[in-house]
Structure 1
Amino acid sequence: MFERLDLSELSVEQVAPLEALFESSWSDTWRELAISHYITLLSAPGSETVPKGQLARLAVELTMGIAQDLGGTQPYIPAGAAVMTSARTRRVIELLQRGRSYREVGTTVGLTPSRVRNIERAWRQEQLSLSQGRLDL
């Protein structure tokens, strides 16, 4: 896999082609999925030769595909040990530990408060797993 950009590394101008395609009826989840797809596409080798608008449209199409395939379900996407590999995730945890609210953290790093809570939950679960160790049964 290639080195993937983090949302915190992108400028407003870089994300603008994607945000221009968002429908007002889109949920936060759809927006987050589209942003994730877009970041991956921007990070892919050779992406600098593809117009950003085309990458944004592809990200939207990928999001619509997930909505069609998994819509109405709540799939679990495990984070595991990789949860802290993202610079943005580290920043979320750092800000939460400083006492910032979910809304403040979300605004600072470009996420919804719901996504900030999910990141914190995954991080806490990882910390609990590390502190408990494993029992041989």
Structure 2
Amino acid sequence: MVDMFERMDIAAMPPAQIQPLEALIPPGWPDTWRELATSHYVTLVSAPGAETVETASLASLAIALTLGIAQDLGGTQPYIPVGAEVMSSARARRVVELLKQGQGYRQVADTTGLTESRVRQIESEWRKQQMALRQGQLQLD
């Protein structure tokens, strides 16, 4: 089993740190590929021991991983679940808290450093968990 580690927040990355990846992304790449490459890169840069590897190498790996996903899953629309442990994340708890306070998706995204899409995913997973908890208490006799 792979131990999880704390990933760096993309919003906290200075432009100079993301530049090695940006330099490798060709013009015209689909937005989805760009997002996947960025996610891979953030994970690789955040991984234990990453400081011993040149960022250009990590960027190349992120590009290779993205191209692999495009080759394996291209043309499909896979569902990537958020995961049952979504609420174990302090950031996910903060997202739900802010949404409960009536803040909009964009405002929550800006506050937490996430994308609107990720905020919506967290909310969706939280709602599914809440529904499952409530349904587990129903008497169906």
Q: Give 2:53's aligned amino acid.
A: V
Query: How far did 1:34 drift?
Result: 2.0
Query: Unpaired runs of 5+ in structure 2?
Result: none
CA contact (8 A) 1:8 1:88 kept: no
* 2:136 is the counterpart of 1:133: yes
1:41 is aligned to 44
* 2:53 is the counterpart of 1:50: yes
CA contact (8 A) 2:8 2:43 kept: no
Q: How many residues align?
A: 137
Matches of 1:72 and 1:102, distance apart in 2: 28
Higher relative CO (Cα under 8 Å, sequence separation at least 6) belongs to: 1
Which of structures 1 and 2 has the bigger CA Rg? 2
Query: Unpaired runs of 5+ in structure 1?
Result: none
Query: How far did 1:56 drift?
Result: 1.8
CA contact (8 A) 1:17 1:56 kept: yes
Matches of 2:137 and 2:42, distance apart in 1: 36
1:11 is aligned to 13
The root-mean-square deviation of aligned C-alpha atoms, in Å, is 3.0
Q: Give 1:11's aligned amino acid.
A: M
Q: 1:20 to 1:85 in 2, by over 3 A?
A: farther
CA contact (8 A) 1:6 1:88 kept: no
Q: 1:101 to 1:16 in 2, by over 3 A?
A: farther
Query: How far did 1:70 drift?
Result: 0.7
Give the TM-score, by structure 2 length: 0.73
Matches of 2:92 and 2:19, distance apart in 1: 22
Give the TM-score, by structure 1 length: 0.75
